[in-house]
Structure 1
Amino acid sequence: MGRLREIVFESRSAPALARFWASALDGYAVRAYDQAEIDRLAALGLTPETDPVVLVDGPGPSLCVHQVPGRDYTNNRVHLDIAAADRAAEVERLLALGARVQREAAGYTVMLDPEGNQFCVVASPLQPEPST
């Protein structure tokens, strides 16, 4: 049986989108570049700031942000659900990072990352949101 290895995002700018997701998710960070990887990129005329494939590691599956020239999608087929004890506060934090709200629904908020990829912010299953 297969195991989830990583979640892949197609992107216009892999480094910028990787930084967004590293900041958006608790315990995640852009994978550090060792000297061998910096040398490999340099041989291709690239740097970490122009790398077309950037990995983001954390306590769960890795995220792979892959730059795709000419990307033009109206909807993505895979998205992340981010659980938060205080959904409204998490939505505000993500807005400050550059996300946008697409729509509100009962128990979750559909958001768009800076490149328009959908994701949802949901109430943490351990601490459900109070009824309104």
Structure 2
Amino acid sequence: MPARFKSVTLDALDHQALADWWCRALGYLRRESPAGRESRPDEWPVPLYDPTGHGPVLWINPVPEPKTVKNRMHLDVYGNTDEMVTLGAKLLRRRGGGREWDVLTDPEGNEFCVFPPKRRPTG
């Protein structure tokens, strides 16, 4: 039986701050325990979810070391690059030259790509 996709996990030195950043960037929410946030120790990984039910669960995992090399995997998102930069992302490469996406990093240096929002057919 083939494996099934479960979630995406990002490592971070300040996982609480990065969880807040990705919530703002993607419109995600923290998945709190039934007893509320105060029952989840701050040092635990933070699960985020898409309230529309369309996106994958995103875990922000605490690690003791900073990121040192390019990611071997990254997120691809639809969105507005300028809005991501306003939120604190850093633009590495602008789309062009046959490339349809911009390359950015989140506040902890994790690379991700932003594609223009999908256009819905009219008529």
TM-score by length of 2: 0.80
Paired amino acid for 1:68: V
Contact 2:91-2:104 at 8 Å conserved across structures = yes
| Aligned length in residues | 113
Structure 2 portions without partners, runs of 5+ = none
| Corresponding position of 1:3 | 4
Match of residue 64 from structure 2: 69
Give the counterpart letter for 1:97 in structure 2: L
Q: 5 Å matches for 1:1-132? A: 1-26=2-27, 28-35=28-35, 38-39=38-39, 41=41, 50-58=42-50, 59=53, 60-84=55-79, 90-106=80-96, 107-126=100-119
The alignment partner of 2:20 has SS state of helix
Partner Cα separation in structure 1 for residue 44 and residue 64 of structure 2: 10
CA gap of 1:72–1:124, structure 2 versus 1, over 3 A, is closer
TM superposition shift of 1:105: 2.6
How does the TM-score come out when normalised to structure 1?
0.75
Are residues 105 and 66 of structure 1, via their aligned partners in 2, closer, same or farther at CA, if it must alter by over 3 Å? same
User: What's the secondary structure of 1:105's corresponding residue?
Assistant: coil
Residues 126 and 67 from structure 1, CA distance in 2 versus in 1: closer, same or farther, beyond 3 angstroms?
Answer: same
Letter in 2 for 1:14: H
CA contact (8 A) 2:7 2:59 kept: yes
Q: Secondary structure at the match of 1:64?
A: strand
Once residues 101 and 12 of structure 1 are traced to their aligned partners in structure 2, the CA distance between those partners, rounded to angstroms, is 21
Over the residues paired in the alignment, what is the CA RMSD in angstroms? 2.0
Structure with more helix by fraction: 1
